[in-house]
Structures are given as structure tokens and as C-alpha cells.
């Protein structure tokens, strides 16, 4: 695998602890903290890679078939779904859920370990978690903060930065992770949609009744990315200044699962699941680095 994409959710100040006159606190893996958070991130990575492979193989074996229909007195050619794609969405959702729960466990593990450094302990251990707070919810942060009275100010500031409670704005990556994790406890969260919004094929056209030839044209999308598909759903259309005589062939497209990343109370916001998962994974690798080292190096190691 190549390097993970940069986090789309949050940029950290690399010099966050630079103003401190004392040496910044470093939590070394295998020393002050166990490798468990990174183990969980690697398990999440394995699930994302497995899901990517399953989707790719399924598309190779079962491309979605479209058939063409001539409309508008021959001047419009519409391709609609002729066979309903039936991918194993529940199986794919299970891999999504395992990736999400592993990432959530990585965060909760580092919070637990940070709260138990040097023999300290939270006041309410069962209510200790990595803070994923709503925007403007200062009381929730205060409750979390009061549960770890023995945590150093330096570590407390790092958790505050990771939660990104700045001017009442919460870290969206943490909220997306929490939403996906909660959904996974109850139901599948994936929707099947076309993998791309364009393509090309060949069809016979009548040029003024004089001759018939094959013409290559761009396809215009009719189905918005993120919209579900079923038999009869129009996907692509041609519009041509000449008259279509016939459709030479059907065509095929690849499909991909999308997931709703909207938070509670927001309109539905579908996004392709694989980029979403890689973005979260990259982001939470950076969060672990922030908590343990106090800054983000930008060098995200390939094996994390």
C-alpha cells in the first residue's frame, strides 16, 4: 500500500507544545503506553483493505448491466439498469463496522492509558472514553475533564486539541466515527451507487437519411452519485443532433457502496465508503501521534 492520504478533517499546530519551557511529555509505545491502540489501528487498516478487495472482485464478476432505449423521436438514448445489482452489502457493512469499531477502540485505549499514567486513575473508570463532543457542548468537556483530575495539564491540552473544542466547534472526524459506530450496532449503513458518473459507447445514427454510421459520444449522467439503483433506474443518456436508428449493444458499469456521514439533525450526506475510511484512519493515526508526542510530524508510516 502507498502512503495514506492526509486527514481531511483537521490540521494540527506542529508547534503546539513549543511554548513550554520544560521538555514536552512523550508517551513511548511499549514503555509508557502499550501498543494496543496501534494494534487496533492496524486491524482497522486490514479491514479497509479487505473491503476494498471484496468490492473490486465483486465488480469484476458482477458488473451492473444497462440496456438502451431510444426516446424523443430518436434524438435521445437512455441507458437504464436492466439487472438489479445484488452485492453482499451486509457483508461489506460488517467489514465497515469492524474497521470503525477498531478505530474507536484505538482512541478509547489511548485515553484509558493516559488517564492511568504513573499509577493515577480516573474518578469514574467506566465513564472514561476518548472525547467526541458536540459543537458548543462545553459541559460534556467539563465532565470529561473532571473525571481525570490527576492527568497532567500537558496531556489534558492535547486531548482538548484532538477534540478540537475551539470556538465551540467539535472535531467532525470524531463525530463521524461515533455516528458510524453507533449505526453499526443496529443495522447496515451502505447504499449502492454507480462508481463513476460518465463513460462512452457506440451506437448507430441516421445522418439525414443518407447513410448510417457508428458514432462515439460522451454519456451524461442521470443518476446522482450516492443514489440507489434498481431495475429501470435511468443512469446515462445521450442527446444527439441526428436521429438514433438503433442501439448496438448494452453496456456495463461498476458500482460502489456509499455511506451516510451526516451527523444527527443534518441532511443526508452520502460519500464513498473507502475514501471515508482511509481518511478516518489517517486522521486517527495523527491523533495518536498528537496525544503521545504533542505534535504531528506529517510522516505517516505505511504500516500503521
* Among 63, 102, 103, 104, CA closest to 84: 63
Task: Say how many CA atoms lie within 13 Å of 202 toward its Cβ.
Answer: 5
Comparing 4-18, 206-220, 228-242, which segment has the lowest mean pLDDT? 4-18
pLDDT given at position 261: 85
Q: How confident is the model at residue 44 (pLDDT cuts 50, 70, 90)?
A: very high
* Among 226, 252, 255, 224, CA closest to 88: 255
Q: How confident is the model at residue 9 (pLDDT cuts 50, 70, 90)?
A: very low
Task: Say how many CA atoms lie within 13 Å of 284 toward its Cβ.
Answer: 37
Q: How confident is the model at residue 220 (pLDDT cuts 50, 70, 90)?
A: confident
Bridge partners (DSSP) listed for residue 258? 191, 272
Q: Where are the domains of the chain?
A: 36-293
Q: How confident is the model at residue 294 (pLDDT cuts 50, 70, 90)?
A: confident
Residues counted in the chain: 304
152 has pLDDT over 60:
yes
Mean pLDDT on 211-217: 48
Q: What is the pLDDT of residues 61-119, one digit of tens each?
A: 888 888 888 888 877 888 888 887 788 989 999 999 999 999 999 999 999 999 999 88
Q: pTM value?
A: 0.79
pLDDT given at position 113: 96
Cβ neighbours of residue 24 closer than 8 Å, sequence gap 6 or more:
17, 154, 293, 294, 295
Task: Give the 3-state secondary structure of the chain.
Answer: CCCCCCCCCCCCCCCCCCCCCCCCCCCCECCCECCHHHHHHHHHHHHHHHHHHHHHHHHHHCCEEEEEEEECCCCEEEEEECCCCCCCHHHHHHHHHHHHHHHHHHHHHHHHHHHCHHHCCCCCHHHCCCCCCCCCCHHHHHHHHHCCCCCCHHHHHHHHHHHCCECCECCHHHHHHHHHHHHHCCCCCEEEEECCCCCEEEEEEEECCCEEEEEEEECEECCCCCCCCCCCCEEEEEECCCEEEECCCCEEECEEEEEECCCCCCCCCEEEHHHHHHHHHHHHHHHHHHHHHCCCCCCCCCCC
Average pLDDT, the chain: 79
Bridge partners (DSSP) listed for residue 80? 67, 234
Q: What share of the chain in percent tops pLDDT 70?
A: 76
pLDDT given at position 85: 75
Say if residues 206 and 170 touch (Cβ distance below 8 Å). Answer: no
pLDDT given at position 204: 53
Q: What is the pLDDT of residues 249-273, one digit of tens each?
A: 667 788 888 888 887 778 888 888 9
Amino acid at each position: 500500500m502507498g502512503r495514506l492520504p492526509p486527514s481531511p478533517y483537521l490540521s494540527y499546530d506542529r508547534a503546539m507544545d513549543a511554548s513550554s519551557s520544560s521538555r514536552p511529555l512523550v508517551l513511548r509505545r511499549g514503555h509508557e503506553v502499550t501498543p494496543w491502540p496501534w494494534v487496533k489501528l492496524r486491524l482497522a487498516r486490514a479491514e479497509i483493505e479487505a473491503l476494498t478487495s471484496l468490492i473490486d472482485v465483486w465488480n469484476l464478476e458482477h458488473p451492473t448491466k444497462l440496456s438502451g432505449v431510444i426516446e424523443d423521436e430518436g434524438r435521445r438514448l437512455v441507458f437504464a439498469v436492466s439487472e438489479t445489482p445484488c452485492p453482499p452489502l451486509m457483508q461489506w457493512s460488517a467489514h465497515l463496522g469492524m474497521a470503525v469499531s477498531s478505530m474507536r477502540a484505538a482512541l478509547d485505549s489511548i485515553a484509558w492509558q493516559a488517564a492511568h499514567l504513573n499509577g493515577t486513575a480516573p474518578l469514574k473508570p467506566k465513564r472514561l472514553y476518548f472525547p467526541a463532543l458536540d459543537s458548543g457542548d462545553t459541559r460534556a468537556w467539563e465532565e470529561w475533564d473532571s473525571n481525570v483530575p490527576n492527568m497532567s495539564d500537558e496531556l489534558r491540552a492535547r486531548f482538548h486539541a484532538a477534540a478540537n473544542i475551539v470556538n465551540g466547534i467539535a472535531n467532525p472526524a470524531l463525530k463521524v466515527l461515533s455516528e458510524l459506530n453507533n449505526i453499526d450496532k443496529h443495522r447496515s449503513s451502505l447504499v449502492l451507487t454507480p462508481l463513476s458518473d460518465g463513460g462512452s459507447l457506440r451506437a448507430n445514427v441516421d445522418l439525414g437519411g443518407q447513410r448510417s454510421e457508428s458514432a462515439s459520444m460522451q454519456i451524461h449522467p442521470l443518476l446522482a452519485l450516492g443514489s440507489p439503483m434498481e431495475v429501470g433506474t435511468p443512469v446515462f443518456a445521450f442527446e444527439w443532433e441526428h436521429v438514433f436508428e438503433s442501439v448496438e449493444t448494452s453496456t456495463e458499469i461498476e458500482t460502489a457502496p456509499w455511506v451516510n456521514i451526516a451527523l444527527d439533525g443534518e441532511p443526508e450526506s452520502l460519500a464513498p465508503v473507502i475514501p471515508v475510511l482511509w481518511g478516518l484512519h489517517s486522521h486517527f493515526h495523527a491523533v495518536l501521534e498528537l496525544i503521545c508526542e504533542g505534535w504531528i510530524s506529517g510522516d505517516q508510516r505505511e504500516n500503521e
